[in-house]
Structure 1
Amino acid sequence: MRILHTSDWHLGQHFMGKTRQAEHQAFLDWLLQQVQQHAVDVVLVAGDIFDTGAPPSYARELYNRLVVDLHHAGTALLVLGGNHDSVATLAESRPLLSCLGASVVPAVADDAAQQVLVLPQRDGTPGAIVCAIPFIRPRDVLQSQAGQSAEEKQLSLQEAIRAHYQAVYQLACAKREALRMPLPIIATGHLTTVGASASESVREIYVGALEAFPTSAFPPADYIALGHIHRPQQVGGLEHIRYSGSPIPLSFDEAGQQKQVLLVDVDAIGLLGVTALPVPRFQPLQSVKGDLTTLAAAITAAAASGTPAQPVWLEVLVQGDDYLSDLQARINSLTAELPVEVLRIRRERGTATASLQAEARETLDELTPFEVFDKRLQQEALDDTLAAQLQARYRAVVASLLEDEA
């Protein structure tokens, strides 16, 4: 059986005022080609199919069209909810999409047996059993206990998530015995694991509670398909536990990454192999840095990958050159005749933060509460110790508020 593992599409994302619609459409067209070329049995999306809980209509349209296209291609689809996804949004079309061979698991189910699914091969015969585990919200598996310290809350949540994985895995084993077929068992997840390498676009999801989930707490599944971390990687060097990463760069620090999806081959024995399929870059995106004497050459080199019809989206990191009131104008003069569009200008040092253009393009909708707090904190003349104490206190207050809402 062949599974295509992908995650973190973030359909509907606006990147510093720019829509990603064309990129996502190009990616989905390419994905469908790979499905047909490699005879994929199941496409597995390990969370964050949408960027927000209320995605724009075009994002929903892309999603629905893909379901239909995969159905016509004879390929099943499994979608897991992520921390960006709205449970209600994913659940609303779940019964309808099931008629087209798509299974959607928006959240932890009251009955864990509902998270044990049999994945079909293209001929309709069972090919694998999946422990379909989406993003786990603390309230799904844990009740807050009064008087617990931060460390105790972290350990309690970690144990609750581990127990949920083990419970679903045991049900999957029971399902395999009931079918009397030697089927491999696949598990999924949308969380941060110990040692995973993240990027600036990955948001903290277990605020004040669980920083990372240890790989030793996963059940002994034949393959574990993870989402949430945008950088593709093996977890702990293990072949069978992987993040596929996001298919397009979601922040400038991801611009240099080779994005990919994973072809996972399994049979009755277990995992046969994993093959990475590199995803083409559908929108040029680069980050350049230097002082005002070297930036011209760096920007010109970056512009080589752009065209007038599709300019390079550029981040400019200015080194040295203490505060200049005309920095924006200077950068504009360097890029005036080139196929580039500057989305953000940053200074490498100093407290000036972003440029006027970055301030104009960056909105509160694009920032987490922590990023807003950190930006405000940067405007104060505080020593590192006090700043760290304030950040820790702020996170503790937010965590307490989220627990009250749960």
Structure 2
Amino acid sequence: MRLLHTSDWHLGQSLHGQDRDHEHQAFLAWLLARITTLLPDALLIAGDIFDTVNPPLKAQERLYDFIVNAHEALPSLTIVMIAGNHDSGSRIELPAPLMRRLRTHALGRVLWLDDGQLDCDRLLIPLTDGHGATVAWCLALPFLRPAEVTGPHLGEDYLGGIAQVHQRLIAAANARRQPGQPLIAISHAHMAGGAVSLDSERSLVIGTAEALPASLFDDSVGYVALGHLHKPQQVNGEQRLRYSGSPIPLSFSEVDYPHQVLQVDFIGEQLQQVQAHRVPRAVDLLRVGPARLDDVLARLAALPAPDLLAGVVQHPWLEVRVILDEPQPELRTQVEAALAGKAARLVRIAVEYHGSGLRQDAVALEQLEQLSPEQVFSRAWEEQYGNAVDDATLNDFLLLLQEEQLEPQP
């Protein structure tokens, strides 16, 4: 059995206000070509399919066009996709009846039956080979929202509710599978020990709670296809617990990430190999600085002129980072003048001040976009009340924030 593991597409994402549809289109065309070459039995998309709970129409068209094209190219392919923390679970599931006709399973939420049991049937998906025989079982674990894993049957312990979902689903899968059929989990979560991208990953940790332990997936699970962290990585060095990472850099902090899709091969229940396929970049991200203004302007002037055969959509996105002693009102004008006739698209100017009264090294001037909602709330609370926010209040704020972020607005 062969799987392809990908995640964190963030369709509809903009980079400091700049549309990135060209890059997503190029990735999906590349992925479709990989499917026709590698002939996988299943494609696993581990959450954050869209960048927001209300994605633009073009982003939705990209997803559904890809699903149709993949089915036409390889009719035996099973696609399993789950909602991430950026997605609306109900939106992901809305076209599910239609997508099942294309062998695509969309899971956005976990549900509980009237007797308090987890509805495992909808979360357990048989994976079949080219002849239609079940060769594995997929355990679909979309991002688990607090309202889905707490309540009368589970109590109010968020992490405890998550543990119960994992335990019940794995037990149901083990009861259902036949000898030789591996269990493959797909999950959108922040696992303990994972390396985080500072600028573009929304925190999944609730208040003071820790990231999830890898022990949630016992040894009966042969592979765990993870989403949420944008940097490709193994969890605690385990071959079977993997983040595929995002297919394009979603912020300048990810400029050096090796963006990829993972090919996962099984023989029976035995994991044979995990092979990375690098995703070519349709558009580069370029950083100039941090450096003094004269140096920055000289570097910008040295950038290449546009290739007459290439379109503007292929010009790299540019972040300029300048160290100043004092504010420069004409800074943007000087930067834009240096970029005239250059093959680059300026999306951000970041300023650092090196002045008396500060440390001798450059001190970054924090911008609102660089702070998490938790940091903004904590600082506002301290300014208003003169003391640090307590854990209970911070937890309540983060739960309200997640409820607002994770459901579509009317």
Tell me whether the two structures share a fold, i.e. TM-score over 0.5. yes
- Whether 2:269 is the aligned partner of 1:269: answer yes
CA distance in 2, matches of 1:392, 1:34: 47
C-alpha displacement of 1:103: 0.8
Whose RCO is larger (CA < 8 A, sep 6+)? Answer: 2
- What letter corresponds to residue 34 of structure 1 in structure 2? R
CA distance in 1, matches of 2:376, 2:254: 21
Partner of 2:83: 81
Partner of 1:189: 187
- What letter corresponds to residue 105 of structure 2 in structure 1? S
- What letter corresponds to residue 286 of structure 1 in structure 2? L
- Whether 2:104 is the aligned partner of 1:96: answer no
Partner of 1:18: 18
Coordinate RMSD, CA, aligned: 3.0
CA distance in 2, matches of 1:300, 1:183: 60
Partner of 1:325: 329
CA distance in 2, matches of 1:24, 1:351: 32
Secondary structure of the corresponding residue to residue 241 of structure 1:
strand
- What letter corresponds to residue 237 of structure 2 in structure 1? G
CA distance in 2, matches of 1:368, 1:403: 13
Matches within 5 A, 1:34-113: 34-72=34-72, 73-74=74-75, 75-110=77-112, 111-113=119-121
Partner of 2:315: 311
User: Contact (CA 8 Å) 2:206, 2:399: kept in 1 or not?
Assistant: no
C-alpha displacement of 1:236: 0.7
Point out the more displaced range, 21-30 or 288-297: 288-297
CA distance in 1, matches of 2:286, 2:402: 39
CA distance in 2, matches of 1:124, 1:301: 58
Partner of 1:341: 345
Partner of 2:159: 158
Partner of 1:201: 200
Secondary structure of the corresponding residue to residue 348 of structure 1:
strand
User: Contact (CA 8 Å) 2:303, 2:342: kept in 1 or not?
Assistant: no
- What letter corresponds to residue 214 of structure 1 in structure 2? P
Unaligned runs of 5+ residues in structure 2 are 113-118, 354-362
C-alpha displacement of 1:394: 7.1
Unaligned runs of 5+ residues in structure 1 are none
User: Contact (CA 8 Å) 2:82, 2:92: kept in 1 or not?
Assistant: no
Partner of 2:171: 170
CA distance in 1, matches of 2:321, 2:402: 39
Point out the more displaced range, 293-302 or 258-267: 293-302
CA distance in 2, matches of 1:68, 1:59: 15
The change in CA–CA distance for 1:404 and 1:316 in structure 2 (over 3 A counts) is: closer
Partner of 1:27: 27
Aligned residues: 378
The change in CA–CA distance for 1:100 and 1:158 in structure 2 (over 3 A counts) is: same
CA distance in 2, matches of 1:233, 1:282: 23
CA distance in 2, matches of 1:193, 1:144: 27
CA distance in 2, matches of 1:404, 1:115: 22
Point out the more displaced range, 395-404 or 58-67: 395-404
CA displacement 1:65-103 (0-9 Å, x = unmatched): 111112112222111111111122111100010011101
Secondary structure of the corresponding residue to residue 258 of structure 1:
coil
- Whether 2:254 is the aligned partner of 1:240: answer no
| TM-score w.r.t. length of structure 2 | 0.83
- What letter corresponds to residue 211 of structure 1 in structure 2? E
C-alpha displacement of 1:256: 1.7
C-alpha displacement of 1:333: 2.5
CA distance in 1, matches of 2:304, 2:166: 48
Q: Which has the higher helix share?
A: 1
Secondary structure of the corresponding residue to residue 338 of structure 2:
helix
Q: How high is the sequence identity, in percent, across the aligned residues? A: 37
